[in-house]
Structure 1
Amino acid sequence: MGWLYPFRPRPWADIAAEFRQIAAARPAYDHMAEVVDSVLDSGAPLLGTTSLGDLIVVDRPVPRAPWGAVVVTGPWSRRVVMVPGWVRVEHVGTGGEVAERPVAEAVPLFWRFVAGTFGVVPAAHVS
C-alpha cells in the first residue's frame, strides 16, 4: 500500500520558508516550522514536500510508486480534522501507524516515526 503518483521533492529551505511564513500569520503552525527546522539541522538524508498544509517526508532516493511516507498533519489540513493544540504524525503505507499528541511533542514524535519507518535518526542523536 502507498501513494501511486510520483513523489516530487522540494528543497528543505523552501519548505522551511513556507512554514515560517504560515506560522508568522498563524501561530498554530509553529510546530510545523519546528519540525522542518529539525530536519534542516539534522543532516538526515530525507526528502520532503507539502500538500494542503501537511508535511510529507520520505527517505532517499526518490521513491517509485507506490511509496510510503511520514506525514505531519497541519492544523488546518484538508485531510483530517485536528484537535486544536495537537499534532498528528502518521506512517502512510504498509503497516502504517498514527499518533496524535500535544504540539509540544511534535519534533520528538516526528523523529520517532522517521526512525521507525526509515531507520533514519538525526546526526545529533547518532552514537
Structure 2
Amino acid sequence: MRSMGWLYPFRPRPWAGIAAEFHQIAAARPEYEYMAGVVDSVLESDVPLLGATASGDLIVVDRPVPRAPWGAVVVSGPWSQRAVMVPGWVRVEHVGAEGEIAERPVAEAVPLFWRFVTAGFGVVPAVQVS
C-alpha cells in the first residue's frame, strides 16, 4: 500500500472518453463490465471528480487537479499491473495518507467505489448507486 500519494502530475481525461474506452474493452472482454459500470455511475452522478486510466485501471481524484503528491481512488481492472486480481473480484484502493484497500466480488464494485470516494474526498453521488 502506498502512503504518501503519487509524485507525477495527474492528467485527467474526459469522463465520456473513459466510458467509451471501458465499454469498448467490456464488449471484447466481459470481465471489464464492472469497470464500465463504475464509470457510468460517475457520469450519472454529476460529481466534481476527475478521472484517468492507466494499464486498464481507473484512477479518480477530487477537483481541482491535484498537485503532487496527490491521493486517488484506484479501481483495478481484471488485468491490472498494480495488483494480482482474483477472477470475479474487484480491488479498490485509496492511495494517499489514509490508504486503504478492499477486495470484493465485482457485483459490489459500484457501491465499493463510492464508499471509497465518499471517505477519501467527501464526495457523495447525487443519485443513489447500487
Fold similarity call, TM over 0.5:
yes
Into which bin does the TM-score normalised by the smaller protein fall?
over 0.9
Partner of 2:90: 87
Question: Does 2:69 match 1:66?
Answer: yes
Structure 1: distance between partners of 2:107 and 2:5: 29
SS at match of 1:123: coil
2:113 maps to: 110
- The aligned residue for residue 100 of structure 2 is 97
Paired with 2:51 and 2:58, the residues of 1 have a C-alpha distance of 7
Q: What SS does structure 2 have at the residue aligned with 1:18? A: helix
Q: 1:65: Cα distance to partner? A: 0.3
Is residue 16 of structure 1 aligned with residue 11 of structure 2? no
TM-superposed deviation, 1:79: 1.3
SS in 2 for 1:124: coil
**CA offset digits 1:45-104 (Å, max 9, x no partner):** 000000000000000000000000000000001111100000000000102000000000
Q: How does 1:42-57 map to 2 (within 5 A)?
A: 42-57=45-60
Provide the aligned C-alpha RMSD in A: 0.6
Q: What letter matches 2:7 in structure 1?
A: L
Percent sequence identity is 82
CA drift at 1:124? 1.7
| Structure 1 runs (4+) greater than 3 angstroms displaced | none
For 2:6 and 2:40, locate their aligned partners in 1 and report how far apart those are by CA, in whole Å. Answer: 26
SS at match of 1:71: strand
Read off the aligned partner of 1:91 and give its amino acid letter.
H
Matched, 1:26 2:29: yes
Please state how far the C-alpha of 1:120 moved relative to its aligned partner: 0.2
Gaps of at least 5 residues in structure 1 are: none
AA of the residue aligned to 1:31: Y
CA distance in 2, matches of 1:81, 1:35: 20
Number of residue pairs aligned between Structure 1 and Structure 2: 125
Unaligned runs of 5+ in 2: none
